[in-house]
Chain A
Amino acid sequence: MVQEKLNLILLTGRTIEQGVGKESGKGTKLYFDSTTMCYMDIIDMNKLGLRNNEHILVTTQEGSVVLRAVKHPRGAMPGMIYIPYGPWANAICSSETTSIGMPSFKGTPVEVKPAPDQPILTLEELLRKEFGR
């Protein structure tokens, strides 16, 4: 049965596409495409009735962001989602530094819902929404 939402764990990190994108320029399409995606396990995607590249709304205590769900290409990672580093991932990452200066970029609990009708914000739109600039 298709579920309406799932509670998962957020991991953020590097991918080679994000790396090439950041070096080419943060305004490039490659950077946008590689940082607005979200790797999910196929089992979790099936639970939400998601197909590759469909939009999802990822929500944490910090806020929410629309991203593109992509099937994790290797092995299984049930219960986790993986978003490459970038402004979109950081819009929802936990800012808890546990008093040592390092925010919790890995291990934040998230809620994932399908969002077929919601668009992914561009970098300019995201900055305007988050910081008014």
Chain B
Amino acid sequence: MPKINAVTCPVCGCLCDDIELTVADNVVQQVKNGCAMCEAKFFSHNNDHRLKTPLIRKDGTLVPTTYDEAIKKSAEILAKANYPILYGWSSTDCEAQRVGVELAEEVGGVLDNTAVVCHGPSILSVQEVGIPTCTLGQIRHRADLLIYWGCNPWSAHPRHLERYTAFTDGRFEGSEWKSYINKVKAAAGRKKIRSLERKGVLKHKLEHPAPSVSDNKPPEILKKKGRKLIVVDVRKSMTAEMADYFLQVKPGKDYELIQTIRALVRDQELDVDEVAGVPVEYLQQLVDAMITAEFGAVFFGMGLTQSAGKFRNIDVAISLIRDLNMRTKFAILPMRGHFNVTGANTVFTWQSGYPYAVDFSLGYPRYNPGETTVVDILQREESDAGLVIASDPASNFPRKAVEHLVKNPLIVIDPHMNATSLIGDIVFPSEIVGIEKEGTAYRMDHVPLPLKKVVDPPKGLLSDEEILRRILKEVRKIKLKKMVVA
């Protein structure tokens, strides 16, 4: 069976480009090197949840229609609307995003991407304080202190540790994989002992207290040389389980914890013994490990952007890195979720000047997060039509926002059935970018990578880019007709 090498995985912001696929009869048969999500995505091109034909809502139910009819109706809706929203964009290629900007400008709508409910606050902070960052390759080869703050790559970016950080063999820093395997073996041994105790095989039953909140005492390993992994989270995630040091912070207390660390990095005296549930003495040991590191990297996720403080949390995290760079070398990177959310921000920025929440209603791009962000527009009930592409806001927006999305005509473009396509008025099936269509995507560190086409799309299906181009063409036709009549 033919094998295809060096395929880029279109799932998360890691964009792993070492996937090996076995394809036969136009179906992906085997996925090598990928994580569980990667495998699920490559197999999904052939499952029952694919949308096969365009659908249109008639008398309350979705019925099959043709692309031409659906495109005509969509163009009519968008051309007529005063303030449509065009949302999603993060799971498609830069080529489709580029047409999206053109369409948003043409219809005078609001163009927003999934960053708004993900790393939008990070973007706001970067605009305020800048960002000392680097590519993942540098981290892979040089970083000896890796800190994951408020993120759980084991679940959301499963190969991040293996490809770019603690478990990878870099040129100057080795992999800590073996020490992790030893930890897993020890845990398996403990489990076995407990099982033998339950069965009554072991005579002396040991005491097993119920799990308690981490005492946050830094282990001796932090003082040693070599790669170290630190996880800061409110609960013990799988990534925290792997870490050399897990710092359990109280929910919503990240801001004060980071500010305390900043004060300690700047050698300031503190008049408290404990901050956010962590003794200052322990924080001092953490700071010592940070300062003595040769090159540290901090990755942050939704734990900072979605909890109290939001963009202020990122402000202080970036400021901490700035402070640390006075003593040693540090970099900070957001853990971007969708495979091309970074691309969406990049494309929107070249085209309009702004990375997300771009409002074209006045004829020129305007950006004011809080006003022009989609969740706020929906909650203020201002939009009068919606186009959702390559995302699922019905699953991922708060209920109040989705309520208004449903009240108005809703156009959905997606390869699969999801909650948004179930509530849409016009639903377009599309080719899966990175499996059935080639394109470009940006990795979380802003490195553009090519996506491959590995199988042919189902007959008759169009790509996101083509659907958008046809809608745009139709919108222009309607507008020209109106002008001629006027």
Contact = CB atoms under 8 A, between A and B. Distances in A.
A100 to B, nearest CB: 5
Contact of A107 (B121, B251, B417): B251
Nearest to A124: B422
B162 to A, nearest CB: 14
10 contacts: A15-B155, A26-B392, A26-B395, A42-B210, A101-B373, A103-B401, A104-B307, A106-B302, A123-B419, A133-B60
A16 B155 contact: yes
Nearest to A12: B306
A15 B422 CA distance: 24
B240 A102 contact: no
Nearest to A105: B306
A105 B117 contact: yes
B235 A23 contact: no
Nearest to B43: A24
A72 B121 contact: no
Given A20-B40, A124-B422, A98 B47 contact: no
Contact of A75 (B240, B373, B395): B240
Which residue, A27, A39, A91, has most C-beta atoms of chain B within 10 A? A27
A85 B152 CA distance: 14
Interface bin, chain B: 35 or more
Contacts of B210: 42-43, 76
A74 B375 contact: no
A107 B417 CA distance: 30
Contacts of A38: none
Q: How large is the interface on A (under 10, 10 to 19, 20 to 34, 35 or more residues)?
A: 35 or more
A24 B251 contact: no
B285 interface: no
Contacts of A18: 155
Given A16-B154, A26-B419, A101-B116, A75 B303 contact: no
A94 interface: yes
Given A26-B417, A102-B310, A95 B401 contact: yes
Contacts of B36: 16, 19-20
Interface of A: 9, 11-16, 18-21, 23-28, 39, 42-43, 62-63, 72, 74-80, 82, 85-87, 90-95, 97-107, 123-124, 127, 130-133
A77 B210 CA distance: 12
Interface in B3-46: 11, 36-38, 40-41, 43-44
Interface string B386-420: 00000010111111111100100000000011110
B370 A99 contact: yes
A16 B237 CA distance: 11
Contacts of B396: 85-86, 90
A65 to B, nearest CB: 10
Contacts of B41: 23
Interface of B: 11, 36-38, 40-41, 43-44, 47-49, 60, 116-117, 120-121, 124, 152, 154-156, 158, 210-214, 234-238, 240-241, 246, 248, 251-252, 302-303, 305-308, 310-311, 357, 369-370, 373-376, 379, 392, 394-403, 406, 416-419, 422-423
B281 to A, nearest CB: 22
Residue with the highest number of chain B CB atoms closer than 10 Å, among A78, A82, A102, A124: A102
Contact of A100 (B120, B398, B403): B120
Nearest to B36: A20
Contacts of A98: 310
Nearest to A25: B49
Nearest to B370: A99
A82 to B, nearest CB: 6
Contacts of B419: 26, 87, 123, 127
A124 B422 CA distance: 8
Contacts of A78: 213
